[in-house]
Each structure stands twice: as structure tokens, then as C-alpha cells.
Structure 1
């Protein structure tokens, strides 16, 4: 009986370890997006996405009505790569990762700062596919708002 319990616990620990490795690999891709933004590195950014990745932004207009705006991945890549003096800082927290085979979803809270100036906050929702080149983002949606932002104190202290 002890042997069966020991083997069961070992198998469970291997599965948890494999899941943790996959979660780290998925989060590495997400974190590379923000590193590319900080560095204005369009090549690094492009490497995080599949060729036909979709991007969307959701927000409320001044009348409070929900809006959905489709983006263009290439426009985002070009904007990141354009030479600029300002640094795009987008710290994230509360990372939630879910994986089922070759599909992963990542949900993170964020705040966006231009240099040290707060512009907006929200949630980034990534969907990734496992490819022969590793995990790649095929869908990115974000929300944006300027109020009701619960930014952790350590983030505020770093950027504000």
C-alpha cells in the first residue's frame, strides 16, 4: 500500500513539475512582449506572435458604452520599433495561466506608463498556441481605463 501511495505521489509531482515548466515557458513569451516594448525592439516583439495574430482593445466610450476595436498586429510592431525617446513600461501582476495541450491562455493585470507617467490600466488576455518554434501568441485582447486602477504599491513606487 505504501508503495502504491509513493508511486502515485511521484507521478503527481512529475505532472505538476511538467505543468510548471510549461507555465514558465508560456509566461516567458508574454514577458518578452513587454521587454520588447521597453526596448523598442520590433524583431523581438514579432517573434512572440504567429503570423496572423489578432489584436483587440475593449473600452468604454465617453457615454459609457462598451467598444470593441480591432487592431493590426503589424501596426503594433511598427509602433514599438519606431525610434523614440520615450520608454513604454507595462508592468504586469496577478498572472493566471491555463494550459490544455497545445493551447494556453494568460490573463494579467497591467498598468501602462510612458516613461514614469501613468496613462491607463486594464487586463491583457493572451491566447497562445504551441508551435514547432515554441509557444506563440495568436490572439491578444486588452481592456483600457484611466480610473479604478488597483495598481500594487511596489509598481507605483517604481514608476510614479
Structure 2
């Protein structure tokens, strides 16, 4: 009976340590995504670039209403240049972390968002981030998003 109790305590301790590690990894993944958008709000392309993995890819699902969707590849350098170019309104993408999934050095984030130019609503949709854990922490390897002006969460 004592052996069973020791085994049960060991399993509980292992489970607790695993939960704490998962929780800290989830927080680190969320922080990378948050830093990406903080940099965008500040117009700080260096801050945004620090969140990206080498070779990162951006995609958007676009198209006109009533037309088939298109997959658009966005230039990372073009995006970074646009972020750092002064613009009259703050680019404010407000995300909610609906789901963060992690396995080893791969993470996936599913996040509904609303995008504002200053205080004016522009569009909404979902962001899907794929992150990898490299020597210097979690980095965004891929972003794909949907964009619409109606039926926002």
C-alpha cells in the first residue's frame, strides 16, 4: 500500500511540474505574439523583427465579397518597412488568445482579432500563428489571417 501511495505522489508531482512547464511555455508563446503587436503599435520594426524566425512567411486570405478567396503572400520586408514608416494613425491589432497549442518546439496560436486605425475600427478576423522555439526563444515562423468588416466576434 505504501508503494502505491508513493507512486501516486510521484505521478502528482510530475503532473504538476509538467503543468507549470506548459504554463510557462504558453506564457512565452503569448509574449512573442504580444511583442509583435506591441512593436506594430509603436511603429518599431526592430521590435517586430525580433519576434520573427528566419524565413518567416506571412499570408492573408483575401478576395472581394462574392468572389472566390485568394491566398496572398505578403512581403516581410515590405511589412516591416510599412510598420516603421510614419503613419497618422496607430495600427492597433487587438487579439484574444483563444487557443495556444504546444508540442516540443512547435506552437500554434489561434486568435480572433479586431484591427483599428487609431480609434476607428477597420476590420476583423482570425490570426493563425505558427511559432518555433529556437536558441533565443519562441519565434513566429508563419502568420495567416482572415479579414472582414462584418460578423466580428
Q: Same fold (TM over 0.5)?
A: yes
**More displaced stretch, 59-68 vs 16-25:** 59-68
Between the aligned partners of 1:80 and 1:111, the Cα distance in structure 2 is 18
Structure 1: runs of 5+ lacking an equivalent: 151-160
Report how many aligned residue pairs link the two structures: 150
- Residue 118 (structure 1) aligns with: 121
1:79 Cα offset (Å)? 0.7
**Residue ranges of structure 2 left out of the alignment (5+ in a row):** none
Normalised by the length of structure 2, the TM-score is 0.94
Q: Deviations over 1:116-136 (max 9, x none)?
A: 111100011111111111111
Q: Could you list the runs of 4 or more consecutive aligned residues of structure 1 that deviate by over 6 angstroms after TM superposition?
A: none
Task: Give the secondary-structure state (helix, strand or coil) at the position aligned to 1:37.
Answer: helix
1:79 corresponds to which residue?
82
Q: CA RMSD in A?
A: 1.1
TM-score w.r.t. length of structure 1? 0.90
2:61 matched residue in structure 1: 58
Query: Is residue 147 of structure 2 the alignment partner of residue 136 of structure 1?
Result: no
Cα distance in structure 1, aligned partners of 2:144 and 2:43: 21
**Contact 1:127–1:138 (8 Å) recurs in 2:** yes
Q: Does 1:15 align with 2:18?
A: yes
Larger radius of gyration: 2
